Structure 1
């Protein structure tokens, strides 16, 4: 993380950019839909910031081939997926911090306040969202590792689709039913629903069920990432295409 950011570039660069993005969508929603949309948009876009940063693992995994470290990673005695999990853990950690600042510092500026007993559940939901989205990003990284030029396209398309269909800007039910089925396969959908339920004062049991659903979906993506990385490494060893440069 120190290689990627200084405290100034993270605070005034990345964090400032994400807070500006949240502010933009909240103000746009206020103009289009009125003040009744403010809480909805603050909660959705604040949680979305951790998902955006966690998906940076798609690009950073592709950097391994450019840096000539892919062969060394493949030679590790650990399973490939765990090596890649550990190589980019700064993304969900940084994303968690970004979302928490947006929820607890920016949110009150738009009238979104959290009670003391809600703080720990909010932190848990944000952490689980960042980690499970990271697992989804790892799967995408494995899919495009041999096509590094697509790294930014894939990560950007992924988070824009998530922003559109997972309940960030509009309810999931706004879309046709088949889109809802797709959204159910994304951890963010369930975890954002959990955060909204918490903000609305729902009981802990209901919130816990939604968090469990999001976590389960995230674990499924981790399993998919494991299979994808294993297949990638096996094909590369057979074909002799794992090298220091692409």
Structure 2
């Protein structure tokens, strides 16, 4: 069956690819962006080594390697806000298609870049810090990275809709969001370290579940246990995507109608 939304996502993704090519060359992505992310993983993992605990080193390298795809995916907040500056937002709203599907495809280059970054970090840096990958673990780990990037992208898309009317906050919101994930979702310290209220809030973030599942993979847990641990991430991603749809359509049908303007600039 052919879904119109698939055509909209594909069309948006063509623009995303063009944007990515305009932003990076293969050299600038490889030596600037990827190099920066790998250096971040080495920095935080080095702190664990300085503590002198082998367990901390393995914990930190997995958490920070996975975190790199989160940072990449959260760039959707900035690029979606850019539709207003480009003057295309009103045109999207006036079109007969659902603009959210266009916006969903419009920034898919970020989670794609994030998957590549995390995969390199996990399999190039992991063995340097004592992570021994078995052949059967590799596709499962890659699938968890993909799920993390896509789930975080849905979180970012909701935040992008929330700041669409105040684009000057886009970088503040995206940076605060991924720093909160880094602090509370089990990247640097176990999620159990935090208060019950924080732990409950962290359950709404896909990263919390996929990172826990990744550690089960490295620990040699059976695939069934990994799937059970990762399954809530799918529900979280779907929930955030629905919230993004709701936020956008509320602005168009309620707020813009009340203001008598489709540019959402008032």
1:132-173 deviation digits (Å, cap 9, x = unpaired):
100000000000000001000000000000000000000011
The verdict on how the C-alpha distance between 1:4 and 1:244 changes in structure 2, with shifts beyond 3 A counting, is farther
In the TM superposition, 1:1-246 aligns within 5 A as: 1-32=20-51, 34-234=53-253, 235-243=255-263
Cα offset for 1:60? 0.7
Asked whether the 8 Å contact 1:52–1:159 carries over to 2, the reply is: yes
Instruction: Find the aligned partners of 2:52 and 2:67 in 1 and give their Cα distance.
Output: 20
Instruction: Find the aligned partners of 1:73 and 1:150 in 2 and give their Cα distance.
Output: 22
TM-score when normalising by structure 2: 0.89
Which structure exhibits the higher relative contact order, with contacts defined as CA atoms closer than 8 Å and separated by 6 or more residues?
A: 1
Cα offset for 1:7? 0.7
Cα offset for 1:106? 1.5
Unmatched runs of 5 consecutive residues or more in structure 2: 1-19
Q: RMSD over aligned Cα, in angstroms?
A: 1.4
TM-score when normalising by structure 1: 0.96
Cα offset for 1:243? 3.1
| Counterpart secondary structure, 2:21 | coil
| Counterpart secondary structure, 1:116 | coil
Asked whether the 8 Å contact 2:165–2:264 carries over to 1, the reply is: no
Cα offset for 1:238? 4.5
Asked whether the 8 Å contact 2:165–2:265 carries over to 1, the reply is: no
Instruction: Find the aligned partners of 1:124 and 1:78 in 2 and give their Cα distance.
Output: 31
1:67-107 deviation digits (Å, cap 9, x = unpaired):
11111221232222211101101011000000000001111
Asked whether the 8 Å contact 2:148–2:206 carries over to 1, the reply is: yes
| Counterpart secondary structure, 2:153 | helix
Q: Give the aligned length.
A: 246
